Chain A
Amino acid sequence: MRLSKKSWALIKIIIFLLSLSPFFLLVSATIQDQLGANPIQTLHFSLGDWALRFVCIGLALTPLKKLLKQSWPVRFRRMLGLFAFFYASLHFLVYIVLDLSLSWEAFVDEVPKSPYILVGLFTFLLLTPLALTSTKAMQKRLGKRWIQLHKLVYLAAISAVIHYLWLVKSDLGEPLLYATVLFILLSSRLFLHLKTKDYFEQALTELRK
């Protein structure tokens, strides 16, 4: 797609606002007391859902690029990836600040007994360095290692789905839906990777452009 710099900037702003809209809707629902009988859970679950959705969207961009043979999808990769981290951070904060009321006693009591929370914390731990090294400067500084580091997102996506699967009581429908989407996204990457042998070299030249 050949668009002017201005048009791309505008599209970026629109996507930015769209990505932020779930956050504003949740804030407004919280203020208006419209989160239902268990507001903390509603907040916590919605934020977790959005984090996982953005992880999936972020992972869809490279396959999309290759499928369309166009480079524009990766223009949004950093922003959408950071939105995944934004919602994951809020999800984590709601748990620590609201659900546990910042009580260390509650944390050490609950977390070891809850494997799904451990997996959730692990996921958050994996995402954090990715967010911290998301700048262009870091990308350049780390070079090849940056790409290797950012492959952690595959692991993070898988552990996020396990986190969800492990939480539900019996209705696995929704977490399995995410698992399916993730499977398709990751296997499409593998497929495309095998198709283009020197994947790393390509990615590096892309970076140097």
Chain B
Amino acid sequence: MLIKEKSPILSSEITDKTIFINRRKIIKAAAGISITSMLPAPASALVKKYAQVPVGPYSGDFKSTAFEDVASYTNYYEFSTNKKDSTVLAKNLKTSPWNITVEGEAEKTGIFNLEDILKANPLEERVYRFRCVEAWSMVVPWLGFPLAAMLKQFKPTAKAKFVEFTTLYDPEVMIGQKSKALGWPYVEGLRIDEAMHPLAFMATGMYDEELPKQNGAPLRLVVPWKYGFKSIKAIVKIRFSETMPGTAWNKMAPSEYGFYANVNPEVAHPRWSQSRERILGASIFTPKRKTEIFNGYGDQVASLYKRMDLSKQF
């Protein structure tokens, strides 16, 4: 794993300031200055497993949402349609060992162990905005690697126009899969140019720690300019295809959830407005934030959709 120095500008933005200051204190204490007993700081600040992971390009200069909020407010219908229940139920998922099947229009297909994929892809940190189709948003410091880097290792052929991702199907553990809330397994997809865009990210961790199970461990997609449901969790299969894959929410209600699902305040969901978003963790008197086109990533990604009518291909 490559260990570069962390950018000094961003690190204070990522960690809560008090923990950030206390961490320095703890390190001093560990170095022999005997003030340990005077420190109320959480010990976890010291042992954060991936605190040294470098900040990658495209990481934003935003204040992160509190970890507890991100880890306790999850849409994970495989476990439950209730955001709190899914947080608890997901703990039953066994994430190691974990294999990923690669299929379709690529030279290197087969079954890959996640550990081998991780060895080939050094970790970096990306602080991204995350906007759910339910009109709430958060900022998450993800750990992982660019999706493009991983996909290129499978050598997709010229016929690979789309990439399809599939979540684990295991109704004994993922008990929400016994209900018909969605068609199982969950499938998501990207056009190949979207998938190869440097913003598209594979996450294995967040907040300098391994990804909590409710947040999609051990491997999830993060596409910050699209609604959250595109960012599929617990991926077990990647398929390169020539045709557009049928995706879970799109199949469930095609008039409400498009294949592209780009964040767009101008295109309302048929049943609610998308022009504003509730910021998670904010006080009850904080007004909603105005949603930005492509979730604020328009400068980077708008060119992908130049010739498209975004109100029709939503």
Asked if A86 is an interface residue, CB under 8 A from chain B, the answer is no
A40 touching B84 in the complex, CB below 8 Å, given contacts A98-B284, A113-B273, A114-B271:
no
A37 touching B285 in the complex, CB below 8 Å, given contacts A114-B273, A171-B81:
no
Residues of B within 8 A of A167 (CB): 271
Contact with A along B120-143 (1 / 0, CB 8 A): 000000000000001010100000
Residues of A within 8 A of B273 (CB): 109-110, 113-114
Known: A36-B72, A171-B81. 14 other contacts (CB 8 A): A35-B284, A37-B68, A37-B138, A37-B281, A38-B136, A40-B278, A41-B136, A103-B287, A109-B276, A113-B272, A116-B271, A117-B272, A170-B181, A171-B77
Residues of B within 8 A of A117 (CB): 272
Residues of B within 8 A of A169 (CB): 134
Chain B residue with the shortest CB-CB distance to A35: B284
Asked if B88 is an interface residue, CB under 8 A from chain A, the answer is no
B122 vs chain A, min Cβ distance (A): 31
Q: How far is the CA of A106 from the CA of B287 in the complex (A)?
A: 10
Contact with B along A154-178 (1 / 0, CB 8 A): 0000000000001101110100000
Contact with A along B254-283 (1 / 0, CB 8 A): 000000000000001001110110101101
Contact with B along A24-40 (1 / 0, CB 8 A): 00000010000111111
Asked if B23 is an interface residue, CB under 8 A from chain A, the answer is no
A158 vs chain B, min Cβ distance (A): 19
Q: Are A110 and B275 in contact (CB under 8 A)?
A: yes
Residues of B within 8 A of A115 (CB): 271
Asked if A101 is an interface residue, CB under 8 A from chain B, the answer is yes
Residues of A within 8 A of B73 (CB): 36-38
Q: Are A43 and B84 in contact (CB under 8 A)?
A: no
Residues of B within 8 A of A39 (CB): 283-284
Tell me the number of A-to-B contacts counted with CB atoms below 8 Å.
Answer: 68
Q: Which of B253, B273, B275 has the most CB of A within 10 A?
A: B273
A113 vs chain B, min Cβ distance (A): 4
Residues of A within 8 A of B278 (CB): 38, 40-41, 99
Q: From residue 95 to 123 of chain A, which have CB atoms closer than 8 A to chain B?
A: 98-101, 103, 106, 109-110, 113-117
Q: Out of B69, B72, B81, B284, which one reaches A43, CB within 8 Å?
A: B284
Q: Are A37 and B275 in contact (CB under 8 A)?
A: no
Q: On chain A, which size bracket covers the interface?
A: 20 to 34
Asked if B252 is an interface residue, CB under 8 A from chain A, the answer is yes
Q: On chain B, which size bracket covers the interface?
A: 20 to 34
Q: Are A106 and B288 in contact (CB under 8 A)?
A: yes
Residues of A within 8 A of B196 (CB): none
Q: Out of B275, B280, B287, which one reaches A101, CB within 8 Å?
A: B287
Chain B residue with the shortest CB-CB distance to A169: B134
Chain A residue with the shortest CB-CB distance to B134: A169
Q: How far is the CA of A151 from the CA of B272 in the complex (A)?
A: 30
Residues of B within 8 A of A100 (CB): 288
Q: How far is the CA of A2 from the CA of B15 in the complex (A)?
A: 67
B120 vs chain A, min Cβ distance (A): 35
Contact with A along B72-86 (1 / 0, CB 8 A): 110001000100100
Chain B residue with the shortest CB-CB distance to A167: B271
Q: How far is the CA of A87 from the CA of B73 in the complex (A)?
A: 25
B215 vs chain A, min Cβ distance (A): 13
Q: How far is the CA of A115 from the CA of B271 in the complex (A)?
A: 6
Q: Out of B179, B276, B284, which one reaches A106, CB within 8 Å?
A: B276
Q: Are B181 and A99 in contact (CB under 8 A)?
A: no
Q: Are B253 and A170 in contact (CB under 8 A)?
A: yes
Q: Which of A35, A100, A110 has the most CB of B within 10 A?
A: A110
Asked if B151 is an interface residue, CB under 8 A from chain A, the answer is no
Q: How far is the CA of A24 from the CA of B74 in the complex (A)?
A: 27
Residues of A within 8 A of B268 (CB): 113
Asked if B301 is an interface residue, CB under 8 A from chain A, the answer is no
Residues of A within 8 A of B29 (CB): none
Q: Are A170 and B281 in contact (CB under 8 A)?
A: no
Asked if B160 is an interface residue, CB under 8 A from chain A, the answer is no
